[in-house]
Amino acid sequence: MLMYYYVAKILPRRMRHNYEDLLRYIDAKVDPSRFIGFVILFGFGVAFAAAFNATVLFSLPSDTFFILFFGSYILLEFVVYFWLSLLADSKGRFVENILPDALLLMSMNMKAGITTERALLMAARPEFGPLEKELSKAGKQVLSGKEIKYALLEIPRRIKSEVLERTVRLIVEGIESGGELSDLLEQTAEDIQNTKLVKGEVQANVLMYAIFIFFAAGIGAPLLFGISTFLVETLTKQMGQFNLAETGIEGINIGRGTLAVTPDFLKMFAFISLAVTSLFGGVIIGIIKKGREKDGIKYFPILLFLSFGVFIFVRSSVSGIFGGL
């Protein structure tokens, strides 16, 4: 529909290009402008329905509708973009894992006297997944007369992987310099495998830090919040049972005061704090383990569910033990 194309122009050009790149990485058979326009209109519809239903069901003020609408819309757009990004990263990680095997296979084929373009086609094995399709396409382009370096440079455009991009550029430089390509492929495969081993050792060394952060965000924080909110609620009830007359001592009035912070406010503050702690805890774990913030977003739902569960369990347990005192 033409409406989708016009709606897609609402987004900044850089954002549209990011969507186009992600759709190309995941090999989506859909027009990028049409997809972007659909996501925008779909987001408006879902956000409006969510905000309207929440406002009516919970009898919220009319001003809250706009806050819920914009918040729901931004959240939905973020989820769609993040989901596409995760799919592209997953495809790239798979290719990085099998890339050394593909390079070694190409190297062995070349050492056996097979031409470069035939080596590309013979290295396109079904077990290589997305890389099999790209190698087959590159080999066919070379056979049809396209220069091999241009055919190879097309591969990283459809697979989101820095390792693959650097490897392809290294191979292209080796071809242009006239070096022994089979030895270059073999050495590159060994370097990638060694890099993977080093990353594995680093992840094993920082695993303790990730476990500590997970424990602090998922168990430690809700444990403290659960006990503290129960204590404040208990003190508030006990203070409400006293009926002290105001007494003046040397101009200073001493009497019963009222707490400005209610137990309901503290519980709401605890839930919000636990949600924020879970989000940033997951992000930090992602940075420690993978070196990228978005790799830690997947820990957010786990930490959120765990922290809320521990908070509710601790409050219920403490209330059951000390509630009758």
Q: What are the boundaries of each domain within the chain?
A: 2-91, 97-192, 206-239+260-322
| Residue 151 identity | A
The pLDDT assigned to 243 comes to 52
Distance CA 69, CA 73 (A): 6
The pLDDT assigned to 55 comes to 85
The pLDDT assigned to 181 comes to 81
- pTM for the structure as a whole: 0.75
Distance CA 50, CA 57 (A): 11
Which residues of the chain, if any, have pLDDT below 70?
Answer: 1, 179, 240-261, 323-325
The pLDDT assigned to 303 comes to 92
The pLDDT assigned to 240 comes to 64
Query: Three-state DSSP class for 180?
Result: coil
Structure tokens at 217: 């965000």
Distance CA 32, CA 21 (A): 9
